[in-house]
Structure 1
Amino acid sequence: MTTAQRSPATRWTRALSATAALAMLGIAGWLLHRYLQAMRWRDFSAAWSQLPARDIVASALAGMLSFAMLAAFEMQAVRLTAGERVSLRRAAFAGAVSNAIGNLLGFHAITTSAVRYRIYGPAGLGAGDIARIVGVAGMGVGLGFAVVIAGALCWEPAITDGWGRWPGLALVGALAAWWWWLGAAPRELALGGWTLKFPDARHAAVQMLIGAVEMTAAIAALYVLLPAGIAPPFVDFLPVYVAAVLAGLVSHAPGGLGVFETILLASFTQAQRPDLLAAILCYRLTYTLGPFVFGSVALAAFELRRRRCETRGAAA
């Protein structure tokens, strides 16, 4: 569909989405500037130098577990949508690498789809197959968000001030209804010229379990870096982290940069912010930049190997 063919409703929706994203970025930038301006450099430098090596290693290990779960999502999505046409090894590689690159570049659906196309294309998968894989894997990540949020709200974090249990129970009920609906009969969703096949109840339960582990590991990658003096209980920190991640996704900023930091900094006092900022920057290294570098190198090696195989095949 060309720009001229788009309906007025579609154009308005895109314009409102872009306006909301720009407004969010503007507000986040203004707040972040205020927070940083009120922070003394020597306080941040001291907090950075005092980060324990064991906590940095723990953060990296938690990040590795999170990406392992993303690879597991990918393997499940490939088996559900592409059957035996793609090996699980290639699927795990695609899931880990695409998310490692997409987490930093932003526009997650676009960037991860492009990386997946480079990996799955040589195996014979087309754009429709890759869209289905993205849909099923994304569904698993969404279920992980929902399970973790539901658990945290039912646990009654202090920030909800007593009202969180009811939304938590409502979310548990919605997840149970979704699971029952999937188990009643095979479910499919037709969108345009392609069909998205939903996982059955058994696979959906596996998605919820994997998603809960993935989300918990991602949160832990930052939480373990917080000094004991400022770290809230994990269940209280969880909703703040999830809100920061979701705001970063809505803003379309690369890696949620700026928006993610602003929401986290706003949740702590000014005296705690130097320690928090040091933890966030270290987290960006262990969970965002580090995986991006490794993922980019792995993708480059994959492309080089593929081209060498094509050259040998042509020579033969």
Structure 2
Amino acid sequence: MTDVEVKPPLLRFARLLANPALRIALPVLIVAIAVMVLHRLASNVAWGDVRADLATASVRDLAVAVGATMASFAALALYDVLAVRIVVPGIVPARIAALAGASGYAISNLLGFSWLTGSTVRYRIYSALGLDAGQVAAVIALNWSAFWMGGALIVGLLLAFHPLGLSAILPLAPALETGLGLSLLLGLGVFLAWLSQGPRRLTLMGATLTLPNLRAAVFLTAVAVADLLATGTVLYVLLPADLSQNSALFFTVFFGAVLLGLLSHAPGGLGVFEATMVIGLGAGGRSDVLAALVLYRMIYTVLPFGIAALGLGVGEAL
């Protein structure tokens, strides 16, 4: 099959996915479906019980959750600090990059549509220092590459050595989960080996992205692992004790829920994440689990958004 035969359908499909109306309508539809599923799972839960569970939340658990949130956002800030050193070395001060990274993620985590919200925050900050749209896009692309490398490492290890996690939310045999895990680890290893051979550049949709060297890629992966584990810990400590005994199962389900939420492009994975967690943990009809999910959203999503919005607002006023 020739390139002439292949490209037109692929280009038409790419243009369809890039349609602004579709990129907004599709997440809205996915959220609606996820909320319907979640409503069905919680149909036997009295919201008075959820409020009671919220009122009895442990102060210690809340403190640990807040601390884990701070650790996660420190890692998110570090994404940008490292990325600007690769894309535009010596131009962006570390404190400005950290502000852009943490604020961008805090805004997009709540509002969703990260291709618009988080990118806009970063562009507003970085353009004041002379960066153009292409350079800002390169910083964001490196952030996402770090996220996927860290995710591949964690999920690969979990699936390879602790299968039966994804089978809680997807019809997968243990052998297939193990194979997927090993494939992720192999793919990550091959990618890192490729980076070690010298300077690498990747051209996507006409834009050229300078990839990190091996040392920087390993560091970015470590930062992503820290971010993802801290994020999972926020919910892990808030869950009832009987659902947090199998940490390998929890984190496998958690990262599966995060992935589905990201792929949905729903605002913060709203509805998709919650429904996946409830199904994966077999926690339908439990008010204490719904209370934990509400607290997770308040601590990890709403609180950072409020701080970022306040900080950006004050910065604009000064």
State the TM-score, normalizing by the size of structure 1: 0.88
State whether structure 2 residue 127 is matched by structure 1 residue 114: no
1:280 aligns with 293
Aligned residue among 58, 64, 89 for 1:58: 64
Question: Structure 1: which 5+ residue stretches go unaligned?
Answer: 1-5, 306-316
Residues in 2 aligned to 1:193 and 1:11: alpha-carbon distance in whole angstroms = 14
1:134 aligns with 140
C-alpha spacing 1:130/1:270, structure 2 compared with 1 (3 Å)? closer
SS at match of 1:184: coil
Structure 1 position 103, deviation (Å): 0.6
Residues in 2 aligned to 1:227 and 1:286: alpha-carbon distance in whole angstroms = 17
C-alpha spacing 1:156/1:270, structure 2 compared with 1 (3 Å)? closer
Structure 1 position 25, deviation (Å): 2.9
Residues in 2 aligned to 1:250 and 1:227: alpha-carbon distance in whole angstroms = 28
- Aligned ranges for residues 295-306 of structure 1 at < 5 Å? 295-305=308-318
Aligned residue among 223, 239, 247 for 1:210: 223
Question: Structure 2: which 5+ residue stretches go unaligned?
Answer: 1-9, 168-172
C-alpha spacing 1:32/1:272, structure 2 compared with 1 (3 Å)? closer
Q: Deviations over 1:177-234 (max 9, x none)?
A: 0000011121112345532100011111111111111100000011010121232411
Q: Deviations over 1:211-259 (max 9, x none)?
A: 1111000000110101212324111011211121122222222111111
Aligned residue among 198, 212, 234 for 1:185: 198
Residues in 2 aligned to 1:144 and 1:273: alpha-carbon distance in whole angstroms = 32
Counterpart residue identity of residue 249, structure 2: D
Structure 1 position 28, deviation (Å): 1.2
Residues in 2 aligned to 1:283 and 1:231: alpha-carbon distance in whole angstroms = 15
C-alpha spacing 1:227/1:7, structure 2 compared with 1 (3 Å)? closer
Q: Which moved more, 1:281-290 or 1:192-201?
A: 192-201
Residues in 2 aligned to 1:120 and 1:304: alpha-carbon distance in whole angstroms = 18
Q: Deviations over 1:162-182 (max 9, x none)?
A: 423332222111111000001
Answer whether contact 2:239 2:289 (CA < 8 A) is retained.
yes
2:95 aligns with 89
Residues in 2 aligned to 1:57 and 1:26: alpha-carbon distance in whole angstroms = 33
C-alpha spacing 1:54/1:18, structure 2 compared with 1 (3 Å)? same
Aligned residue among 252, 255, 263 for 1:250: 263
- Aligned ranges for residues 6-21 of structure 1 at < 5 Å? 8-14=12-18, 21=27
- Aligned ranges for residues 204-243 of structure 1 at < 5 Å? 204-243=217-256
State whether structure 2 residue 83 is matched by structure 1 residue 70: no
C-alpha spacing 1:80/1:168, structure 2 compared with 1 (3 Å)? same
Aligned residues: 300
Answer whether contact 1:141 1:211 (CA < 8 A) is retained.
yes
Counterpart residue identity of residue 48, structure 1: L
Answer whether contact 2:45 2:285 (CA < 8 A) is retained.
no
Residues in 1 aligned to 2:79 and 2:284: alpha-carbon distance in whole angstroms = 40
Residues in 2 aligned to 1:17 and 1:112: alpha-carbon distance in whole angstroms = 15
SS at match of 1:109: coil
Residues in 1 aligned to 2:192 and 2:11: alpha-carbon distance in whole angstroms = 35
SS at match of 1:123: coil
Identity %: 36
**CA RMSD in angstroms, aligned pairs only:** 2.2
C-alpha spacing 1:26/1:192, structure 2 compared with 1 (3 Å)? closer
State the TM-score, normalizing by the size of structure 2: 0.87
Residues in 2 aligned to 1:230 and 1:34: alpha-carbon distance in whole angstroms = 21
Counterpart residue identity of residue 208, structure 1: T
Structure 1 position 142, deviation (Å): 1.3
